[in-house]
Amino acid sequence: MVKPTRVTNGIRALRFAAGEMTQADLAERIGVTRQTVIAIEQGRYSPSLEMAFQIARVFGVGLDDVFSYEPEESE
């Protein structure tokens, strides 16, 4: 599957580390549907900056600890 974004994230690992938090729990904490959490985890949707901060705050980490931007190889 071609991912529409080069923003990657470690949300799944962070959920594991946070007491095996489910996607539904994370979705509820940030006020979105579970489908949106799944799309973000799979790199099919880039969240807004505000939502990214909300996600980072849920895990008590910085934005860089959740998301990273992978430049193209030519860059």
Partner 1 sequence: MSESNILDTWMPAGHMSYTEKNTWLFGIIAVGGYLAYLVVLFAQAGGRPIEQTEYVVPMLATIGGAIVVGILGGIVLGILARADRDNGGKPDVRDKEIEQLGERVGNSFVVIGALGALVLAWLEVDHFWIANEIYLAFAISGVTSAMTRLGAYHRGF
Q: How far is the CB of 65 from partner 1 (least distance, A)?
A: 19
- Stated as kind and residue range, the H or E segment containing 7 is strand 7-9
Enter the tokens of residue 58.
Answer: 């849920």
Q: Does 15 interact with partner 1 (rule: CB under 8 A)?
A: yes
Indicate which single residue of 44, 53, 57, 61 sits in contact with partner 1 (rule: CB under 8 A).
44
- Give 49: exposed, middle or buried? Use CB within 10 Å, 0-12, 13-18, 19+: exposed
**Which residues lie near partner 1 (CB under 8 A)?**
1-5, 12, 15-16, 20-25, 27-28, 31-36, 38-39, 41-45, 48, 51
